[in-house]
Amino acid sequence: MRILVTGGSGFIGSHLVDFVLERTNHDIVVLDNFSTGTKTNLPNSDRLEVVDGDVCDDAVVSKQVGRADTVYHLAAAVGVQKIVDSPLDSLRTNLRGTELVLEAAVEDETQVFIASSSEVYGKSEAVPFAESDDRVLGPTESLRWSYASAKAVDEALALAYNRKHDLPVVVGRYFNIVGPRQTGQYGMVIPTFVEQALTGEPLTVYGDGTQTRSFTHVRDAVRVTYQLLHSLEAYGSVFNIGSPHPTSINDLAERIIELTDSDSEIEHIPYEVAFDENFEEPQQREPDVTKLEETLGWHPETELDRILEDVIAERRSRLETEEVV
């Protein structure tokens, strides 16, 4: 069997590649333009082929999907900062890329996993979020909601292809997946806080810090991502993938300072200073994972402290290596 992972050199994608190589005998093709991922995230394996290409290139996508038995479509423009800074590029990647993958998959009825995001829930306050809940978004003038809109369209496309063409497709809504290899470059909170704590800088908390988020270890996420395409019951459905145990950003910052034994302070920065006056941030993000538990019997196994310890250990090792060099 040949598995195609778009965006396979990225954070989640590279961990999925590791999982497949370690747990199966399948061959893997990674399609990536390395705009946010890096080849150093990928292992050396004679079962791994790396294709340097754009997921918005029709010919490239058609060829690679045509060679695959299963596709995990993870290529996307992610991170609030990146979305705000480059909205047109982000929309193009997230919309056109998904459409091309689905179009190519119809030819051979190829199994497809579409990566979505908890962003689709917007600023709804009806926590915990269930897959069938209404979405609540801010105005289009606030570019921070463009990602949520694009991912919702991705989901709609996937479900439409399933209903019209009986395409075996599954959508997974990721809730703050974290772990080693994640970068804070595009606004990811845990790697940002960890690096600030290890270097003695203030931990920059946007807003008042009372907003809550649920964090899931990447190894738990890739395990269920792989399993979803092996469950016929999952086809044509959307699943929350995340931890049902939220924590406030203030508490997260304090815990990272404690685990790193850092002297860093916590600095609160208003959203309008960090982004712009139209920026909005949801107060709560907590998934209802009942549907996933009933379908696969899955629940996240890794607690927050272990997640933080893994990220801290990796980042501390990298900083030490950089100092030696």
How many angstroms separate the CA atoms of 158 and 161, rounded? 5
Bridge-partner residues for 217, per DSSP? 178
How many angstroms separate the CA atoms of 145 and 84, rounded? 9
Instruction: State yes or no: is 271 an active-site residue.
Output: no
Could you list the beta-strand ranges (E) of the chain: 2-6, 27-32, 48-52, 70-73, 111-117, 169-174, 177-178, 203-206, 212-214, 216-217, 237-241, 246-248, 266-269
Q: Please check whether residue 49 is in contact with residue 43, taking contact to mean a CB–CB distance below 8 angstroms.
A: no
Residue in 72, 121, 147, 161 annotated catalytic: 147
Inter-CA distances, 80 with 55, 148, 215, 293, Å? 21, 10, 16, 29
- Which residue is listed with tokens 């791994």? 48
Give the number of other CB atoms < 10 A from CB of residue 270.
12
Q: Please check whether residue 149 is in contact with residue 137, taking contact to mean a CB–CB distance below 8 angstroms.
A: yes
And the tokens for 184? 């804070």
Q: Please check whether residue 204 is in contact with residue 187, taking contact to mean a CB–CB distance below 8 angstroms.
A: no
How many angstroms separate the CA atoms of 318 and 216, rounded? 22
| Residue 130: half-sphere exposure toward Cβ, Cα within 13 Å | 5
Q: List the Cα angle 267/279/218 in 5-degree steps.
A: 70
- Which residue is listed with tokens 């299963």? 70
Question: Quick one: how far is CA 58 from the chain centroid?
Answer: 24
Catalytic residues: 147
